[in-house]
């Protein structure tokens, strides 16, 4: 069992599920269904594999569901099904929210040639699960953490002494380098220093389109900052290669799913 699932169980059950132990006979067996109560994109089904031995999946991660559709069925001791119900729903609701938001963003930019990226703005301890949910929803995972890619941001530039110094120092790591630029002067310095991936932050779509024309294919372009479902299409149509939005993970709404127990 993964540490995050084990922690969730320990947090909720503690020394025992008092209500279930008091009300439900130990020998009683039961069957249960996880049901979508609204249209959504399902994610988090792998967590159910960790919680239940007798599991039948009716959907796959990334599948669209309609209201009242069964996504999974479980069977076993009634006490176990009841004790793990809330933990299972918490994961499914949260991760399906991320997948649903990701699918909305992916659909919004369809046909532009621009791809949507997620960010590191994730729930502490749940990054891998949320990144998997975002990918299930149809977007592209950006770096997982600080350890697997180089992204030079404004504070790195300040600490390094400038754009050129930051890029030249980072080359020693032997990894692709992405750098954030905030002004046209920083943009031109980054291009002159051989930057191949630029992050343009907090521009309007019109400003972004002008900067993309100036870059003229000399580097990959990612846009970020203030990108929402309402405006992502406008940013995608600037000619940028990528748009990134933290809202996909940090502001995703928990979707409505329920668990229905039957003897």
**Regarding beta strands 69-77 and 54-57, do their DSSP bridges make them parallel or antiparallel, or are they unpaired?**
antiparallel
User: Is 153 noted as a catalytic residue in this protein?
Assistant: yes
- 244 neighbors 21 (Cβ within 8 angstroms): no
Active-site position among 115, 121, 127, 182:
121
User: Is 180 noted as a catalytic residue in this protein?
Assistant: yes
Active-site position among 50, 201, 237, 256:
201
User: Is 121 noted as a catalytic residue in this protein?
Assistant: yes
User: Is 46 noted as a catalytic residue in this protein?
Assistant: no
Active-site position among 180, 186, 189, 241:
180
User: Is 201 noted as a catalytic residue in this protein?
Assistant: yes
Block residue for tokens 């920083």:
186
Active-site position among 64, 86, 164, 220:
86
Active-site position among 153, 164, 182, 220:
153
What positions carry a catalytic annotation?
86, 121, 153, 180, 201
């Amino acid at each position: 069992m993964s540490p995050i699932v084990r922690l969730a169980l320990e947090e909720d059950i503690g020394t025992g599920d008092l209500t279930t132990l008091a009300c439900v006979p130990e020998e009683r067996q039961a069957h249960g269904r996880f049901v979508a109560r609204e249209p959504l994109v399902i994610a988090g089904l792998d967590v159910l594999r960790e919680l239940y031995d007798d599991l039948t999946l009716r959907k796959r991660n990334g599948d669209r569901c309609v209201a009242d559709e069964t996504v999974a069925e479980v069977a076993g001791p009634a006490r176990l099904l009841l004790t793990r119900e809330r933990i299972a729903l918490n994961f499914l609701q949260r991760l399906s929210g991320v997948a649903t938001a990701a699918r909305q963003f992916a659909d919004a930019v369809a046909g532009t040639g621009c791809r949507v990226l997620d960010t590191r703005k994730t729930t502490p301890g749940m990054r891998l699960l949320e990144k998997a949910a975002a990918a299930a929803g149809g977007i592209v995972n950006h770096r997982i953490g600080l350890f697997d890619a180089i992204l030079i941001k404004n504070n790195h530039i300040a600490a390094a002494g400038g754009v050129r110094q930051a890029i030249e120092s980072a080359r020693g790591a032997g990894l692709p380098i992405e750098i954030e630029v905030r002004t046209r002067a920083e943009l031109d310095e980054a291009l002159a220093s051989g930057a191949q991936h630029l992050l343009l932050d907090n521009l309007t779509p019109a400003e972004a389109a002008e900067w993309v024309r100036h870059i003229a294919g000399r580097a990959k372009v990612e846009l970020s900052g203030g990108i929402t479902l309402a405006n992502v299409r406008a940013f995608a149509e600037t000619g940028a290669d990528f748009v990134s939005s933290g809202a996909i993970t940090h502001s995703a709404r928990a979707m409505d799913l329920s668990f229905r127990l039957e003897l």
